[in-house]
Each structure stands twice: as C-alpha cells, then as structure tokens.
Chains A and B, each alone.
Chain A
Amino acid sequence: MAATVTSRVAGRFGPYGGRYVPETLVAALDELEHAYAEAQTDPDFHLKLDSLLRDYAGRPTPLYFAPRLTESLGGAKIYLKREDLLHTGAHKINNCLGQALLAVRMGKKRIIAETGAGQHGVATATVCALFGLDCVVYMGEEDMRRQELNVYRMRMLGAEVRGVSSGSRTLKDAINEAMRDWVTNVRTTHYLLGSVLGAHPYPTMVRDFHRVIGREARVQILEKENRLPTAIIACVGGGSNAIGAFYEFIPDKDVRLIGVEAGGRGSALGEHAARFSGGSPGVLQGTYSYVLQDDNGQIALTHSVSAGLDYASIGPEHAALHDSGRAEYTSATDTEALDATLRLARTEGIIPALESAHAVAECLRLAPSLTPRDILLVNISGRGDKDMGILARELHLSGA
C-alpha cells in the first residue's frame, strides 16, 4: 500500500505559492521559516529593525504631494511615496535589513543574493558591510552592462559580483545561479532573496518587511487628506514594492490597487514582461505563479528597458490578487516609461528609477480621467541615478 501524503498549505495564496525546490534546500527553508516566526514574536528583533529603518535607512519616507504634475494632468491629486529617498536609493533596503538580522540570528556568516537592476544587490552589499558578513551577488551580464554604476557600488561595499552568462543573462538567470550556490553551501549561507518570489517563506517574509511602505502611506494620506486614496499605483517585477504598498489597503475595498508590469517593446512573447496578459500558471524557481512560457513549458525570454522588471514570473500573492480581482494589473511600454521619467523630472524635479517610471506612466494615463476629488498614490520605489546611462542614450542627453 502506498502511503498518502498530505499537501501542505503554508505559504499558499489561493492556489499560488508553495515550495517547489530541490530536497537539499528544504531544511534551510524550514530553518528560515522557524527563525522568522521566532523573530516575529521577539520584541528585541522589532526594536532593532525599527531602529535601523529609522536611523540607518531613513524611514519614514515622505508622502509628497506633487503639485505641478497634478496641475499639468488636470485630474486627480497625485501623491508620491518617496521610497527613492531611502538609503541606497530604493525600497530594497527594508527587506535587506530584516533578512540580515535573521541571518545573524541563524548564525550564517555568508550571504548570497541575485540582482536585476542592481538595487537589491546594492542594498544586500550594504547590509553585509553593516553586519560584517561575506557577500556574493549574482547578476546577469546583460544587467551588469546596463546597470554598471550599481556594479561599482556593490564592489565598493566589499561584495563580490559574479556575472551570469546563461540564458538571457538577466534576473532569472541570476536567480538560477544563486540557487545553485545555495544548494551547495546551504549549511553556512543565507540566500537573501530580493523579491516576493521563490519558495515559502520568502514571498510572505519579504512582503512583511515591505509592509511598512503601505502602513506609513495610509497614516500619511489620512493626515493630509483625511481620506483614503482612489488608487495606489506601483510597478511590478517580482512585486515587492507593490505588495508592500498595497498590503495595508487590501481590506479597504474602495481603494483600487494597480500594478504596472513591463510592456517592453511589443506584445509578442520575448518582447515584454507582462505576465498577466502573456503568461499562464506554472512553476519557476520555487513557486507556483503566472509565468511567461511557451507551449512546452519552457520559460520565455523577456524584455524591458528596466532591468528590475525584466523577469518571467511574478510573486504568487500578486497572482492571487489578480485572480480575485482585488488588484488590477496593467503594463507600460519602454517608451511610456522613458516619457514618464522625463515628465516627472521636469515637473517635480524627481528622477525616478526606470522601474518606478512604469508606475508613473500609468498615473499619467489615469489621472486626467479622474476628478480633483480623486487621489492617486504612486509608489516611487527607487531613484533613477543608476539609469543615467540608458536615459542619456534614449533621451539624447549628451547635448552634442
């Protein structure tokens, strides 16, 4: 008689999520899950994390009313949540500080990470310097080329950046390589995954470390406007800044939650990273979610001008929010994102990361159709310094 095995439900968002990994990693995922659960009930952990977020990272971040952008669009009032003002220049530091504290609790002295745009890699290298941990960051060679500045920042901070030359040489391939490292060095190494992706407990844990975005924004908008926003808009690669911005508002049914994927340069498979319009449910890199794939289940190549959105799958909680209709997902093209970057720079003096510019692009489309009674809250997840090379080329800034 064959024994029956009960399917576990931990780490599921509707049918999505779960844990699809080589057996070697399960013990480490269990260890992490337990360490995280313990930390959550430990006041000392929260005290340490809150103090680091405040004194080191620069929280709370402002919620800024954007008057000239609002006026120029002639519709909804636009507020920007300024995650770009955080130390290292993006929301990624929220999660890195949390996971670094966990790594120290677990006695792991070596940290590995993947990075796409380099913002998570920089944040990881930063916390490793802060806590005296060894740091190896995997990065696709294509991303190393287009986000060169962040490669230097990581090296400056003492991290080893390992280029990945397989596949499309972008984020997905960097995650494969990081998982191969982890499966080999799992006893001494913590994998500091940078988005709400991968096997349980990562999607839940990383979300929790970013919930502070929405928690602050909710208090701030109530202080300023005494009402909740009409919609919250955030870009979605893996989806960590979006879930962080959305999460506290999920029970507020009147608040629209809008995720913006990378529309790239066309709707054919391989030309974009719009998982909900072009993908279907599947398993990639440890989790069950929407995946861009071909008819044979091979993962498709993706394209986006922004390295941080250039990924074939999406966090499983977003898949559940999509299916339930609680959140809406749309996309912005490379061109729209570039235009939005320029528009925000020229109206408000803020250069957003190309990733965040996808959220701004949706705001530009939506705001004119709304009334001045409406409020749009746009999460500016990172700043655009890292993209100056691409922007100089695409927007002809060389002045010649």
Chain B
Amino acid sequence: MIRVAVVGAAGYIGGELLRLLIGHPEVEVAAAVSSRFPGKRVDGVHPNLRSATDLLFCSADEVDECDTVFLATPHRAAMTQIHRWIGQAKQVIDLTGDFRLDDTEVYQRYYGTAHAAPHLLGDFVPGIPELHRESLRSADLISVPGCMAVAGVLALYPLVARDLVEPMAQFDARTGSSGSGATAGEANLHATRSGAMRVFAPTGHRHEAEISRHLGIPARMTATGVEAVRGVQTICHVTLRPGADRSAVRGAFREQYRDEPFVRLVAHQRGAFRYPEPKILLGSNFCDVGYAVDEAAGRMVTIAALDNLMKGGAGNAVQCLNIRMGWPEALGLSFPGLHPV
C-alpha cells in the first residue's frame, strides 16, 4: 500500500481522483486538500462518495509525508507550490497546465503569465503512457496533459510517427461543461450553456500548444462547448502524403495500439456507434480512436473521444501511477462505461 494526497480535492478532477484512489486496492488516501472546504466532509462536496469514505478535507499544512501527491489545483497554483510537494512526497503527479509545456516562451504565450518554476519544466515526464511508458516507469515528476490534447495526440500520433500525413493538423474539438471546472461564472450558467454550441476558443487554445509539442508538427484547434457535462471529441483534418493510402493508415493504427489497454480502434461501417462517441465512455478510462480516408482527395479525418475527467485527467493520472509503481496498468480502472446513458 502507498499513501497518497490529493491537492485541489474539491474540484471535478479532484473528485474523480478520490473516487478512483479510494477504490484502488494498492492505495490509501491519506489526505484530501482543499483551500475552500477544510474540515468539511468529502462526501458533502462529492455526493457519489457517500459510504465510500468518511474523509474530511484538510489544509495543505496538515498533510503528513506521503508517497505520491496529485495536484489538481487551478492552473498556476501548482507551479507556486511545487517545491513544497516535491519535498514532501516521492512522486508528484500534476494535472494542471503548469508543467505541460517544456518551453517558457510558449508557456507565456499560451497562459499569459511568466512561469514560476521554469527550471523544472524539462523535468516532468508527460503523462501519456502510449508515448512515454518507459520513461514513466521511473518518473518522479509527471505532468498529465489536457483532455483535448490527449485525444488529439492519440488520434494523430500513429500517422505522424510513420510520416503518412503532411506536417499540419487542424482540430475541431468539442467538450462538455465539466472541463470548465467546478467554480461558477457567467459562461457556466445553465441558462448560458443549455442548448448552446458555444465556440469558446476559435484560435489559440492552450491544448493546441501541447499537441504541437507531442506531435512535433504545427497544430491548430477550435474548441466548442456542447450540451454535455462530460466528454471530449476531437476531429482532425490532415492531408495524406503522396503514396499514403487507406491500407497504410489502417496498418498504422493497428500496429500502434494493438497492445494498448486503453486505446480502442473504432471505425465501423455498421451500427449506431460507428465512430468514437464520448457518451458511452463516461466514467471509463478509454480513448476511442477512429479514422476515415478520402483517397481520391488525398485527405483524411481522425476522430477521438474520451471522458475529459478520466482519460483526459484523473484516470490517465492513475494509469501513470500504476505504471510508475509497476502494478497492472488497468488496476482500479476497469469500469467499461455505461450504455444507455
């Protein structure tokens, strides 16, 4: 058993971390840190955890030494607290945006502020098991990517790695409202969001910088908030390189993800769910990836879907923990999702 602390435990990602870690057979949740609710019951904020835990939120100062700390604070809080947590735990798994980029200038451009711990940027291993599994086995600093970035990277990596597409990707991403966090704001009002297809980032979304970093090609992304609480879907348009055809594309995806426990190929020609659909992934750690090739036009589309709080956040973080600890990679992550829902 290891002892873990979740910092920022009252947020949506924090709640999912608690749900997964409380149910994890090798983990004891030692502390749930919240600056807003110290002393309050965890299941008062996360009612799905009733009878699963009697834990109370605590302040950061009350945390004893533990093995692993998960940071699910708002962006910018992690980089200002990072030295405290590095001194207190063997591993830090950060789920904020603070250590996702490895270039201070790019960070400043996308986040609008100078980085508070630039010397640590290169020390974090990206929490993408499908690309960095070997490094994660010994990583003590892990940065879990953004939800739309994970989807975008997994949807395109097999093609970029094999030089099958031209080096420019256009993403159209859709997301549910939980991606905006658990704090109120005009844009999060039910009256604003319900029924809307709200284009909130036509250019310059932060996850576009992450996708570019991991794929090594320029990526552009539009982000739209849709009528859902959870779920992300990215559709990516790319141009095929001369000679690249449907068979090569199919082979690339099959070879890349044959042994991946949480990436499934979904490119069906029959049934109601032919391409990746976030709705059936809610609560699960899967990223479904599909594609369609237009050989005559020399172009193709890739589609990815995931639960933004799971493979796009807490689930991916627990998968990284399992790899780091040498446990079975799917430990505590076996929930297959719901249907119908």
Q: Do A and B bind each other?
A: no
Residues in chain B within 8 A of chain A (CB atoms):
none
Residues in chain A within 8 A of chain B (CB atoms):
none
